[in-house]
Structure 1
Amino acid sequence: MTRIGLSTVSVYPESTAHAFAYAAVLGYDAVEVMVGVDGLSQQIEAVKQLSEHHAMPVSAIHAPCLLFTQRVWGTEPWGKLERSAEMARAVGARTVVVHPPFRWQRDYAAGFVAGVERMEKETGLFFAVENMYPWRASSRRAVEMYLPSRDPSAETYANATIDLSHAAIAGDDVVSMASRLGSRLRHVHLTDGTPGAKDEHLVPGRGTTGAAGFLQHLAATGFDGEIVVEINTRKAVSKADREADLRESLEFAREHLRVPTP
């Protein structure tokens, strides 16, 4: 049965520790740790203790490859992936989520596809490369910022991640992308968005990506990877409001995947 996890970034500005607590209380199946959101997320022993304390498995480690985590665990990109793999093995996660290189990381990008394949063979983990999007200064002007491609289905990766908010910005059809990837689709960031320049990470069902139909497609095609709710709750005015968004997202996933509530 497909697990439905919670990304620790979904509770920001609350901490990684709060994310584990929300996941346990609301009935999520697992947690994805976004490295770099807070100091706890960078510490293997802290993550292990949180997982054990809440009886909440870790499904994935998201490598610190965002703009605002460029200096987390150093600045050498392969070193970041190696440390992410070390954490994943230590906490029992099978997947490392990674973004494709920025276009200014030319040396990294030149060997990225082969390097990811090498790391999967060496570690036995899934390195699920995530779909990204053009950066937009306006509705008419877009700049491609990722190499070798922002679309993982255009490359030969063995494992990939689809993020629905990223697809909304790019104008990508997520069902078509999933069909192109086939069994290579290992991981999903369940969220939502609308066309434009902003990476909104809405509660699924509140955007235009067709999140319900996408989940139904996954169920119909036998998807056996991980679903992780990755939403933006920064504007929540209270803990109750944040909790309501997290609960709504979980219920949305279970409804459209037809996963029974434990």
Structure 2
Amino acid sequence: MTAPIGLSTASVYPESTEHAFAYAAELGYDAVEVMVGIDATSQQIPAVRRLVEQSGVPVCAVHAPCLLFTQRVWGLEPWGKLERSAEMAAEVGADVVVVHPPFRWQKEYAAGFVEGIAALEASTGLAFAVENMYPWRAAARRSMQMYLPGIDPSGEDYANMTLDLSHAAVARQDALAMSERMGSRLRHVHLTDGSGSPRDEHLVPGRGRMRASAVCRRLAERGFDGNVVLEINTRRCPGRSERAEELRESLEFARLHLGPSAEAAG
């Protein structure tokens, strides 16, 4: 298994991007995925480059600011956000930009999204790995499809994709089956977990129902050499030591099930 195991800066929220690099260095993560968000440091190339130099931990991916609460980060024009994300990735040595599909109300953006992603990959030499998403569920029997062209990128002509296990849980999709559909186009994995709740839980892997260990073992069998990034929710941790323990548990899970002993462990 040659895939680096990274830590998403989103995993330490409400602590900062700077804290994420510190945790990654302390716990022995191979890399960091920078979620560009409301933390000013995450938006600034020199600041991220400084964190790489200080921590000794490289950046494997940049997550574009395409969440609902980051709609105003780097302006309102969606293609401009992706171009700036590509600029940051190139400047800090990352080779992947993680991107969500457009919201339904971004009709013009959505209409040319598949072709536009391909054009960006051609012009930048970076992988724009489009992430699987989920319906917004207001109640057990009511859901709204909020993304275009859709929530499952494996049905589109993307060259590179991101598999997020928590998103698959909300969508009530089989993450292992989705990884098989993505095949060689699977470039990036957000290793996490979910229970099937309407909420995007981002549980520590192994604490939900998404067969995270089986997904990891299958990646190892396939010789997956993309990035595996732990993207978990630690907001309820009362302090630093508890957050560090959840990040450590997540890293140990990944190493166990992605490593050479994965078959025996399963």
TM tier relative to shorter chain: over 0.9
Native 8 Å contact 1:165 1:201 kept in 2: yes
Q: Give RMSD over aligned pairs.
A: 0.8
Name the SS of the counterpart of 1:31 in structure 2. strand
Identity of aligned residues (%): 67
8 Å contact from structure 2 (residues 195, 210) kept in 1: yes
**1:198 counterpart residue number:** 199
Structure 1 equivalent of residue 93 of structure 2: 92
TM-superposed CA distance for 1:258, in Å, is: 1.2
Q: Match for 2:127: what amino acid?
A: F
Cα shift at 1:217: 0.7
Tell me the equivalent position of 1:161. 162
SS of equivalent to 2:32:
strand
The corresponding residue for 1:20 is 21
2:139 match: secondary structure: coil
CA offset at residue 76 of structure 1?
A: 0.2
Aligned residue number for residue 2 of structure 1: 3
Task: Please state how far the C-alpha of 1:7 moved relative to its aligned partner.
Answer: 0.2
CA contact under 8 A between 1:17 and 1:50: conserved in structure 2?
A: yes
The answer as to whether partners of 1:139 and 1:196 remain within 8 angstroms in 2 is no
Find the residue that maps to 2:62 and give its secondary structure.
strand
Cα separation, 2, equivalents of 1:175 and 1:60: 23
Structure 1 length normalisation: TM-score? Answer: 0.98
SS of residue matched to 1:86: helix
Q: 1:94-173 to 2 correspondence within 5 Å?
A: 94-173=95-174
| Contact persistence 1:35–1:64 (CA under 8 A) | yes
- Identify the residue that residue 47 of structure 1 maps to in structure 2: 48
* Counterpart code for 1:157: Y
Matching residue of 2:185: 184
Task: Indicate the residue corresponding to 2:245 in structure 1.
Answer: 244
Render the CA deviation track for 1:38-92: whole Å, top value 9, x for unaligned.
0100000000000011111000000000000000000000000000000000000
1:37 CA displacement: 3.9
Note the alpha carbon deviations across 1:176-211, whole angstroms, 9 max, x for none.
Answer: 111111110000001000112100000000000000
Q: Deviation of residue 259 (structure 1)?
A: 5.7
Q: Give the letter for the 1:216 counterpart.
A: R
TM-score normalised to structure 2 length: 0.97
Distance (whole Å) between structure 1 residues aligned to residue 187 and residue 55 of structure 2: 25
Q: Any conservation in 2 of the 1:218–1:257 contact (CA below 8 Å)? A: yes
**Count of matched residue pairs:** 260
Distance between the aligned counterparts of 2:103 and 2:250, measured in 1?
30
Gaps of 5+ in 2: 262-266
Contact 1:9 1:37 in 2 (8 A): no
Q: Is the 8 A contact 2:160 2:187 kept in 1?
A: yes
* 3-state DSSP of counterpart to 2:205: coil
CA contact (8 A) 1:109 1:148 kept: yes
Paired residue type of 1:10: S
